[in-house]
Amino acid sequence: MSLIQLVGEYLFTQRTKDDQRIAEALSEQFGDDMVYFDAPKIYAAALETARAEQSRVLVLDPLCVVQVDTDSRMNGTRFITAEVDRVIREGKSDYGFYDVGDAGTYWLRAALSAFSPVDAMTGVYAHGIYAGGQLTGVLVYISQVQEIYESLRDIQLRILFWLVIVAAAVMVVNMFVLRTITRPISELNEGITRMSRGDLSARVNVRGKNEFAGLASAFNSMSERLEQLDKSRNQFVSNASHELKTPLSTMKILIETLLYQDPIDPGMTKEFLTDVNKEIDRLNRIVSDLLTLVNIDSGAMKLNLTDLDIAGLLQEQVKRLAPLARENGIELECTAGGAIVVPGDPLKLQQVIYNVIDNAIKYTPRGGEVHCSVARSGRMAVIRIADTGEGIPEEDLPHIFDRFYRVDKARSRETGGTGLGLSIVKQIVMSHGGTITPESTLGKGTTFTIQLPLANKKSEE
Ligand SMILES: Nc1ncnc2c1ncn2[C@@H]1O[C@H](COP(=O)(O)OP(=O)(O)OP(=O)(O)O)[C@@H](O)[C@H]1O
Ligand SMILES: [Mg+2]
């Protein structure tokens, strides 16, 4: 049941009760007057009520002929409606509503419209008038219910008005929700879909400062990182292929020259085969460096940590490289006091120190010097490898630990470098919890400082 029906029913019930009360009171009052039919008295009482209530009172005799009409228009005519009929036949009061506009019978319409404006709703209440238990007449009380209809229509309009307002508000809220929740989610969803299809350049818009903006910027930084990783992986593969290709093509040229020589020159053959052998060594080195890096990347590198005297290890490597230094006309010296113990993997740290001293010798011209030293500083062992070499330009310094990075591409290949040495060094030092820092002045020299955490006090003493 709708709200408007509920309200209507309440109002009509209220009105029915009021009308019933008035009609009952009048019928009771007129009971004896009907026996002697004191018309002026009945008329006066009925008129008083009709004026006060703005209604109309008819008093019918048992044959439904109007005896008293407060409007004095229907005296002597018959007035039979369903309600009056019910009072006469069944002795029960009844109530009915009539729309004057469609009241079927002419006389009824005339009766009602005389009282109400045309097309108005009218209520008709019929009640028996009794004297000594005998029906002596019927009281018809006609009241106007148009105002109830009008107020109902008014309420209906108000409800409609509020419905429109609420609908508009719902639409506004909906738009707000769409903007702040649904749209960011669908944008994010689109980004994720693009990324899962392999488009790593997918980014989403970051709006505002709510959780969705946080999510969006997390997504953006994730896809940025992935894109970078993808790029550096491609770069790595292309660099690696390039490095492998160079010795291979050199070998091909050497071998083809050998194949087509006629007659065979034993001296040249030996020389070329020596070159081929060198290229194979180079290939071997590149491949094993690459394997080391892949090993580190996949996290498969295991450190065999022991208490290691890093001063002893440094001296050992200096001794090992002394012949190379001599060959290159470089003075190589080492200052190391007593033992300095760090927890470390001997083979890996040996590779670190070898690589850095090897670089220092390689990139220092004849007549230069390379100084190595190790000392304790706080909770760290500090290893310094300083050379008086060519130095590294400032703009190259941040890149020297990158894979395949060489400052002077052409010359380094001659000296046999692939640019993998320092990236391996850095990974090993970091896996020991240490740091490596280069300092360089172009034309003056370079110093690499490696810091490794010392073993705890107990094992040191
Ligand atoms: N002590 C140094 N003085 C000047 N330049 C250096 C020094 N050490 C490294 N570099 C520069 O840094 C680059 C990278 O060094 P890295 O050891 O990674 O590669 P490489 O020596 O060229 O090759 P690899 O060590 O793999 O044989 C070198 O090519 C060189 O240009
Ligand atoms: Mg090197």
Instruction: Write out pLDDT tens, residues 412-429.
Output: 556 667 889 999 999 999
40 and 132 housed in the same domain? yes
Tell whether the model's pLDDT for residue 152 goes beyond 90: no
Residue 113 pLDDT class (50, 70, 90 cuts): low
Specify the DSSP element, H or E, that contains 311.
helix 310-327
Per-residue pLDDT at 110: 57
Q: Residue 223: inside a domain, yes or no?
A: no
406 C-beta closer than 6 A to ligand 1:
yes
389 C-beta closer than 6 A to ligand 1:
yes
Per-residue pLDDT at 178: 85
322 and 293 housed in the same domain? no
Tell whether the model's pLDDT for residue 119 goes beyond 70: no
Average pLDDT of the segment spanning 129-154: 84
Residue 399 pLDDT class (50, 70, 90 cuts): very high
Domain that holds residue 65: 3-144
Q: Residue 16: inside a domain, yes or no?
A: yes
Per-residue pLDDT at 197: 92
421 and 366 housed in the same domain? yes
Q: How many domains in the chain?
A: 3
Q: Examine the fold and report which residue of 271, 297, 323 is the final residue of a domain before the chain moves on.
A: 297
Q: Examine the fold and report which residue of 93, 109, 144 is the final residue of a domain before the chain moves on.
A: 144
42 and 106 housed in the same domain? yes
More confident residue, 25 or 451: 451
| CATH code of 446's domain | 3.30.565.10
Q: For 27-36, which contacts have Cβ atoms below 8 Å and span 24 or more sequence positions?
A: 27/127, 27/128, 27/129, 27/130, 27/139, 30/59, 30/129, 30/137, 30/139, 31/129, 31/130, 31/131, 31/136, 32/131, 34/59, 34/61, 34/129, 34/131, 34/136, 34/137, 35/131, 35/136
287 and 317 housed in the same domain? no
Peptide bond into 346 cis (omega under 30): no
> From the CA of 362, how far away is ligand 1's center (Å)?
8
Helices (H), 54-124: 82-90, 106-115
Listed ranges 252-256, 335-339, 401-405; the one with the highest mean pLDDT: 252-256
Q: Residue 359: inside a domain, yes or no?
A: yes
446 C-beta closer than 6 A to ligand 1:
yes
Average pLDDT of the segment spanning 423-448: 94
More confident residue, 362 or 416: 362
Average pLDDT of the segment spanning 64-92: 87
Q: Residue 200: inside a domain, yes or no?
A: no
More confident residue, 236 or 372: 372
Per-residue pLDDT at 108: 63
Q: Residue 87: inside a domain, yes or no?
A: yes
Q: Residue 203: inside a domain, yes or no?
A: no
311 and 444 housed in the same domain? yes
Q: Residue 160: inside a domain, yes or no?
A: no
Per-residue pLDDT at 154: 86
Ligand 1 pocket test target in 246, 352, 359, 440 with most atoms within 8 Å of CB: 359
Per-residue pLDDT at 262: 85
> From the CA of 406, how far away is ligand 1's center (Å)?
6
Per-residue pLDDT at 459: 45
Q: Examine the fold and report which residue of 105, 122, 144 is the final residue of a domain before the chain moves on.
A: 144
Closest-CA residue, ligand 1 atom 7, reads 359
Percentage with pLDDT > 90 across the chain: 41
388 C-beta closer than 6 A to ligand 1:
no
Q: What is the edge-to-edge ordering of all strands in the sheet holding 331-336?
A: 331-336, 369-377, 380-387, 445-453, 435-441
Contact 382, 337 (CB under 8 A): no
293 and 310 housed in the same domain? no
| CATH code of 53's domain | 3.30.450.20
Contact 219, 192 (CB under 8 A): yes
- Least confident window among 97-111, 210-224, 225-239: 97-111
359 and 439 housed in the same domain? yes
What is the pLDDT of the chain when averaged over all its residues?
Answer: 87
Which amino acid does the sequence have at 227?
E
343 and 363 housed in the same domain? yes
359 C-beta closer than 6 A to ligand 1:
yes
More confident residue, 384 or 123: 384
Per-residue pLDDT at 458: 52
273 and 342 housed in the same domain? no
- Least confident window among 167-171, 252-256, 300-304, 383-387: 300-304
20 C-beta closer than 6 A to ligand 1:
no
Per-residue pLDDT at 143: 84
Per-residue pLDDT at 412: 59
385 and 275 housed in the same domain? no
| CATH code of 248's domain | 1.10.287.130
What six digits make up the tokens of 15? 């009105």
Q: Residue 433: inside a domain, yes or no?
A: yes
Instruction: Write out pLDDT tens, residues 272-321.
Output: 999 999 999 989 988 998 888 888 878 778 889 999 999 999 999 999 99
293 and 346 housed in the same domain? no
Residue 461 pLDDT class (50, 70, 90 cuts): very low
Listed ranges 2-11, 81-90, 167-176, 451-460; the one with the highest mean pLDDT: 167-176
